[in-house]
């Protein structure tokens, strides 16, 4: 034992050493780990900010939600990506924001972040793209648009508007005159060169179709075929004009960036292909950029001076339908002109909303409440500093778990040695229970049969200085003599010898067996009492014919909304009645009657668990619900005392009960003591004078019987076998006590 203890203690040495180095590495992780945001966005009217950072290990983005007023982290989640990573163009919809990513396994991920903190993925694996995904995703006037070719060579256009995803397969019947083989963006159409974005679709028959980049209210695209004698630009202009009418845009008055100095935003007539007057902003906006916001509005932003180095950033939100302007200077004056000209800079505004959102190419985010002219701009550096107060960057369970999830050689080695130590000290505590459960299953699944030890020899293996012995057990099964080998660790004190009778549980399919002890039978008996169903009502009775003097029935009980069916034999003179109540038990899913007619439930302390050996089996010609009625003659052993019982039982057809099978038996201590005492007295024939029933114990009626022998009356109170029954005038063979006038039935009448 000392050697084992010292051996176990050796496991602590590598655990201690590795833990020391692990702690140092973890502290460095705490000091160094800080998410570096790739993009940040305002949300919920500027009350929240979302930051997205590429996870240091694993193909995913970490997404953090912040309260901008309190400058605190309020939640986090992750979204899928691939090893290349990258975030697609965003779109604000329904008080939330949509930010796409791409994952090789899941395809395009359309991540919809709500201001409530809820995150939806709209695509659900339905959009795998064949080529570079980022060039196939567009944000246009608040919509997210996807166009491309799937790995199965299917061309499609999809749109997310108002939080709803719609998708059109361009190869659908009747949409195009020939199979589409290629799709390309019409250059400049997403930059307001046309009122509606366009895609050019090459067809198998060498013709070209122009398709709208947005979907109508029915989720459909508009299509125009290029004429054979028509040039590409002419066809695009014709499609732009036609689609503008379909979708309600003014193709003759587009607001565009004018490249002529001093580069004021101007109206452009796409129908006539010529520039018109500059947009009449309240104050001049030079070196202007035009940002498309929604179906009605654009942002015109630029410099207050013709030379941008001499001015400040200024601008207005312009409603193209009403001609009204809204001042955006409270936000724009906080930006540099270099940042305004950055291709990554974006502005967003939903129709009918007073909130203008901003995302800068220098990883900044801001918002403007246009009603009260309140604005705020935050940089990613400021937001990352908020993280320094979070548990992620302190010694905590959360930060340690995040460190462990990163893996690495040190973490893996430490985890292996901790696991070995836990198995050595804690895992062994569960081994006996696991072994006991496995042993119970083997006993439960096999046939309980009596056998004889034919041979025994040590295997050479010792467990805790006790030898493992290889037993050869001989037994009879299904009329054949069989042998099976059982290995078991025994004590030298166990008086086991060749020729001893033993009980085994034999698995026919595997031809394997285990020994059954009295303790196993006791546990089996106790386990069978666990599922108790009280106060069940007998609602229906089905009759299946006569069995000797009894009648076979199928009883239907209802309890707590469930129906339980139980096959029984109704004894002569006894009657089951609908409306009566019973207590039931479930044994391995099979319902049995515990007591009927009398609601008394025996206390566990009043019961004693015994084992009974089947010495005779008689199959009766009654089968109910795939269960056959059998009469079993059983010898119950209690110490040196042996009691013979006859019991009818409905046995599932797939279960075999043979002579020698051992079954668990539960009896009242009082009944066992009385029957043992009476069997030690006199026996003889007696005539039945009266019979009265008082419910059942199990499926056997409880009878109060008066019999007469040699002019003396005796009283019997016991359960009777309903297949035989007891009636006035029957002659029974009884065991009796002349002093107490008690008796018990040994054999029933032969009538």
Using pLDDT thresholds of 50, 70 and 90, give the confidence band for residue 3. very low
Same domain? 469 vs 411: no
CA–CA separation, 69 vs 88, rounded Å? 28
State how far the Cα of 71 lies from the Cα of 142, in Å rounded to an integer: 28
Mean pLDDT along residues 387-408: 69
Instruction: Examine the domain organization and report whether 285 and 315 are in the same domain.
Output: yes
Task: Report the Cα 420 to chain-centroid distance in Å.
Answer: 30
Query: Which residue among 457, 487, 516 closes a domain?
Result: 516
When pLDDT is averaged across residues 460-472 and rounded to a whole number, the result is: 81
Q: Are 314 and 343 within one domain?
A: yes
| Contact call for residues 212 and 206 (beta carbons, < 8 A) | no
Can you tell me the mean pLDDT for 514-538? 70
Same domain? For 275 and 341 the reply is yes
Average pLDDT of the residues in 355-379: 94
For range 549-553, the mean pLDDT: 93
Can you read off the two tokens belonging to residue 159?
């749109």
Domain-embedded: residue 710:
yes
Distance CA 683, CA 8 (A): 67
Say yes or no: 258 and 359 in one domain. yes
Residue 305 lies in a domain: yes
Q: What is the pTM of this model?
A: 0.53
Q: What is the CATH number of the domain that holds 504?
A: 2.40.50
**Nearest one of 622, 628, 634, 666 to 649, comparing CA atoms:** 628
* 52 pLDDT above the threshold of 80: yes
Lowest mean pLDDT, pick from 31-35, 97-101, 376-380: 31-35
- Structure letter (DSSP) for residue 425: I
State whether 363 and 331 are in the same domain. Answer: yes
Residue 495's pLDDT band, with cuts at 50, 70 and 90, is low
- Whether residue 9 has pLDDT greater than 70: no
| 599 CB-near residues (< 8 Å, 6+ apart) | 535, 581, 583
- The number of C-alpha atoms within 13 Å of 681 and in the hemisphere containing its C-beta is 18
Whether the predicted pLDDT of 429 surpasses 60:
no
Range of the structural domain that residue 305 is part of:
254-372
pLDDT of residue 4: 42
**Within a domain: 138:** no
- 59, 103 in Cβ contact below 8 A? yes
- 1 pLDDT exceeds 50? no
What integer pLDDT is reported at residue 2 of this predicted model? 38
Query: Residue 605 pLDDT > 70, yes or no?
Result: no
Last residue in a domain, options 482, 516, 550: 516
Residues 258, 363: one domain? yes
Q: How confident is the model at residue 458 (pLDDT cuts 50, 70, 90)?
A: confident
Pair (314, 284) in one structural domain: yes
How much of the chain, in percent, has pLDDT values that exceed 70? 88
- Mean pLDDT, residues 195-202: 96
Contact between 273 and 306 (Cβ < 8 Å): no
Least confident of 49-58, 224-233, 301-310, 709-718: 49-58
Is pLDDT of 277 > 70?
Answer: yes
Task: Assess whether pLDDT exceeds 70 at residue 683.
Answer: yes
Query: Can you tell me the distance from the alpha carbon of 222 to that of 215, in angstroms, rounded to the nearest whole number?
Result: 8
Give how far Cα 731 sits from Cα of 684, 702, 716, 745, Å: 10, 19, 14, 10
Task: Please state the rounded mean pLDDT for residues 276-287.
Answer: 96
Residue 412 pLDDT grade (very low, low, confident, very high; cuts 50, 70, 90): confident
Same domain, 684 and 740: yes
Quickly state the pLDDT bin for 209 (edges 50, 70, 90): very high
For residue 742, the model assigns a pLDDT of 95
| Cα(574)–Cα(579) distance, integer angstroms | 16
Q: Return the minimum-mean-pLDDT range out of 333-347, 377-391, 460-474, 715-729.
A: 377-391
Please, what is the average pLDDT of the chain?
86
Residue at 124 is within a domain: no
Q: Specify the number of domains making up the chain.
A: 4
467, 365: one domain: no
Residue 329 reports pLDDT greater than 80? yes
Query: Before 262, cis peptide (omega within 30)?
Result: yes
Helices (H), 265-396: 329-332, 337-340, 380-386
Tokens matching residue 323: 């001609």
- Residue at 220 is within a domain: no
Q: What residue ranges in 229-285 does DSSP mark as E strands?
A: 254-257, 265-269, 274-278
**Is there a single domain that holds both residue 261 and residue 293?**
yes
pLDDT, mean of residues 728-745: 94
- Which tops the pLDDT comparison, 496 or 204? 204
CB crowding 40-78: b at 16 or more within 10 Å, else e:
bbbbbbbebbbbbbbbeeebbbbbbbbebeeeebeeeee
19 domain residue, yes or no: yes
Q: pLDDT (tens digit, 9 = 90+) per residue, 58-91?
A: 688 999 999 999 988 888 899 988 877 689 999 9
**Do 260 and 354 sit in the same domain of this protein?**
yes
25 within a domain of the structure (yes/no)? yes
User: Is 90 exceeded by the pLDDT of residue 12?
Assistant: no
Q: CB-based contacts of 439: which residues, under 8 Å, 6+ apart?
A: 514, 520
- What the block records as the tokens of 554 is 């199928």
- Give tens-digit pLDDT for 611-664: 888 899 999 999 998 889 999 999 988 777 888 889 999 988 767 778 877 777
Share of the chain above pLDDT 90, in %: 52
Pairs from 15-19 (Cβ < 8 Å, separation ≥ 24): 15/414, 15/417, 15/418, 15/421, 18/410, 18/413, 18/414, 18/417, 19/414
pLDDT for position 434: 56
pLDDT at 164: 95
- Please answer whether residues 63 and 52 qualify as being in contact, where contact means their C-beta atoms are separated by less than 8 angstroms: yes
| Residue 425 banded pLDDT, cuts 50, 70, 90 | low
Distance CA 415, CA 420 (A): 9
DSSP state of 672: H
Whether residue 447 is predicted with pLDDT greater than 90 in this model: the reply is no
How many residues are listed for the chain in this entry? 751
Per mean pLDDT, which range of 147-161, 484-498, 563-577, 720-734 is the poorest? Answer: 484-498
Q: Higher model confidence: residue 391 or residue 519?
A: 519
Give residue 149's pLDDT.
87
Q: Is residue 366 included in any domain, yes or no? A: yes
User: 469, 501, 516: which is the final residue of a domain?
Assistant: 516
Residue 358 pLDDT level (bands cut at 50, 70, 90): very high
Distance of CA 114 to the CA centre of its chain: 24
């Amino acid at each position: 034992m000392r050697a084992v203890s010292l051996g176990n203690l050796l496991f602590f040495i590598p655990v201690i050493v590795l833990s020391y180095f692990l702690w140092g590495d973890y502290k460095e992780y705490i000091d160094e780990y800080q998410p570096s945001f790739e993009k940040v966005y305002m949300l919920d009217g500027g009350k929240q900010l979302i930051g997205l950072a590429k996870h240091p290990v694993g193909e995913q983005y970490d997404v953090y939600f912040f309260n901008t007023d309190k400058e605190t982290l309020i939640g986090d989640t992750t979204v899928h990506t691939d090893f290349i990573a990258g975030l697609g163009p965003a779109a604000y919809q329904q008080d939330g924001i949509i930010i796409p990513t791409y994952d090789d396994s899941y395809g395009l991920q359309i991540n919809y972040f709500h201001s409530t903190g809820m995150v939806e993925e709209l695509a659900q694996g339905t959009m795998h793209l064949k080529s570079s995904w980022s060039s196939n995703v567009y944000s246009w006037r608040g919509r997210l648009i996807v166009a491309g070719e799937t790995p199965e060579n299917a061309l499609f256009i999809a749109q997310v508007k108002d939080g709803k995803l719609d998708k059109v397969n361009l190869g659908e019947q009747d949409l195009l005159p020939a199979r589409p083989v290629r799709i390309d963006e019409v250059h400049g159409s997403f930059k307001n060169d046309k009122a509606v974005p366009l895609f050019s679709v090459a067809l198998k028959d060498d013709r070209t179709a122009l398709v709208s980049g947005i979907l109508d209210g029915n989720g459909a695209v508009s299509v125009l075929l290029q004429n054979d004698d028509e040039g590409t630009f002419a066809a695009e202009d014709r499609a732009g004009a036609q689609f503008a009418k379909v979708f309600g845009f003014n193709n003759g008055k587009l607001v565009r960036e004018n490249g002529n100095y001093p580069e004021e935003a101007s109206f452009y007539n796409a129908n006539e292909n010529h520039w018109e007057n500059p947009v009449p902003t309240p104050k001049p906006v030079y070196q202007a950029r035009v940002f498309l916001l929604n179906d009605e509005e654009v942002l015109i932003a630029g410099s207050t001076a013709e030379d941008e180095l001499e001015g400040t950033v200024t601008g207005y939100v312009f409603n193209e339908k009403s001609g009204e302007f809204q001042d955006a200077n409270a936000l724009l004056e906080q930006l540099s002109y270099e940042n305004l000209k950055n291709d990554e800079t974006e502005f967003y505004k939903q129709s009918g909303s007073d909130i203008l959102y901003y995302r800068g190419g220098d990883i900044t985010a801001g918002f403007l409440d246009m009603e009260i002219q309140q604005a705020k701009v935050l940089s990613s550096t400021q937001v990352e500093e908020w993280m320094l107060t979070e548990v992620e960057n302190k010694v905590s369970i959360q930060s340690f778990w995040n460190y462990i999830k990163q893996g690495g050689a040190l973490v893996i080695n430490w985890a292996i040695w901790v696991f070995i130590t836990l198995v050595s000290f804690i895992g062994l505590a569960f081994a006996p229970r696991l072994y006991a459960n496995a042993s119970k299953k083997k006993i439960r699944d096999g046939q309980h049969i009596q056998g004889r030890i034919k041979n025994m020899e040590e295997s050479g293996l010792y467990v805790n200085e006790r030898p493992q012995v290889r037993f050869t057990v001989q037994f009879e099964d299904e009329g054949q003599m069989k042998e099976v080998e059982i290995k078991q660790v025994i004590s030298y004190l166990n008086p086991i010898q060749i020729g001893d009778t033993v009980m085994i549980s034999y698995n026919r399919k595997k031809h394997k067996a285990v020994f059954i002890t009295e303790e196993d039978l006791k546990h089996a008996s106790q386990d069978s009492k666990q599922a108790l169903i009280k106060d069940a009502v007998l609602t229906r009775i089905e009759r299946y014919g006569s069995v000797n003097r009894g009648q076979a029935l199928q009883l239907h009980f209802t309890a707590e909304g469930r129906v339980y069916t139980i096959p029984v034999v109704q004894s002569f003179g006894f009657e089951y009645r609908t409306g009566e109540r019973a207590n039931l038990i479930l044994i391995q899913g099979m319902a049995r009657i515990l007591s009927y007619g009398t609601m008394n439930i025996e206390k566990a302390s009043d019961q004693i668990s015994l084992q009974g050996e089947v010495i005779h089996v008689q199959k009766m010609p009654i089968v109910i619900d795939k269960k056959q009625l059998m009469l079993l003659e059983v010898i119950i052993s209690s110490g040196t005392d042996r009691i013979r019982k006859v019991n009818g039982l409905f046995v599932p057809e797939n279960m075999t009960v043979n002579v020698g099978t051992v079954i668990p038996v539960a009896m009242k201590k009082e009944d066992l003591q009385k029957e043992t005492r009476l069997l030690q007295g006199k026996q003889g024939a007696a005539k039945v004078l009266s019979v009265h029933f008082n419910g059942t114990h199990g499926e056997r009626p409880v009878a109060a019987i008066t019999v007469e022998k040699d002019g003396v009356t005796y009283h019997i109170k016991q359960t009777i076998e309903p297949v035989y029954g007891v009636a006035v005038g029957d002659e029974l063979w009884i065991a009796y006590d002349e002093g107490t006038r008690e008796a018990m039935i040994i054999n029933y009448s032969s009538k």
